[in-house]
């Protein structure tokens, strides 16, 4: 139960009244937005899945480039070749799968 303002006299009244107790005017009904927050959230989820997948792929590609010998940045600490040989390509493919899943979700609806 909330408090709203009467559009006719400007006094604060309770939500439950259909008529203003002060000026006795009939209050207009409150309109609920056509798109509920849940529906909007579900609708906006699809493009973000695709974009998130692209962001993961770009991030992994940039890290891969930084760890490569062609990078402008020479890392002073050694790292395991397992990282560039298996781990980063796996994450890149996971990001690609995420993006493809976003496309699939977009096409299905």
- Contact status: 66 vs Zn ion (CB under 5 A): no
CA–CA gap between residue 3 and residue 17 (Å, rounded): 10
Binding Zn ion (rule: CB under 5 A), the pick from 5, 9, 15, 66 is 9
| Residue placing its CB nearer to Zn ion in the complex, 6 or 94 | 6
CA–CA gap between residue 58 and residue 52 (Å, rounded): 10
Mention every residue, 6+ apart, whose C-beta is less than 8 A from residue 50: 99, 102, 103, 106
β-partners of residue 12 are: 5
| Residue placing its CB nearer to Zn ion in the complex, 3 or 80 | 3
Taking the complex as a whole, the smallest distance from the CB of residue 49 to Zn ion amounts, in Å, to 48
- Contact status: 27 vs Zn ion (CB under 5 A): no
CA–CA gap between residue 98 and residue 80 (Å, rounded): 26
| Residue placing its CB nearer to Zn ion in the complex, 28 or 37 | 28
Footprint of Zn ion on this chain (CB under 5 A)?
A: 6, 8-9, 20, 22-23
């Amino acid at each position: 139960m909330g408090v709203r303002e009467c559009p006719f006299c400007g006094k604060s009244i309770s939500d439950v009244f259909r008529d203003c107790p002060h000026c006795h005017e009939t209050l207009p009904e409150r309109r609920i937005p056509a798109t509920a927050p849940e529906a909007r959230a579900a609708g906006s989820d699809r493009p973000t899945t695709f974009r998130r997948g692209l962001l993961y792929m770009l991030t992994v590609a940039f890290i891969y480039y930084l760890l490569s010998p062609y990078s402008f940045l020479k890392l002073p600490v050694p790292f395991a070749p397992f990282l560039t040989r298996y781990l980063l390509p796996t994450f890149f493919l996971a990001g690609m799968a995420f993006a493809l899943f976003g496309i699939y979700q977009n096409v299905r609806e």
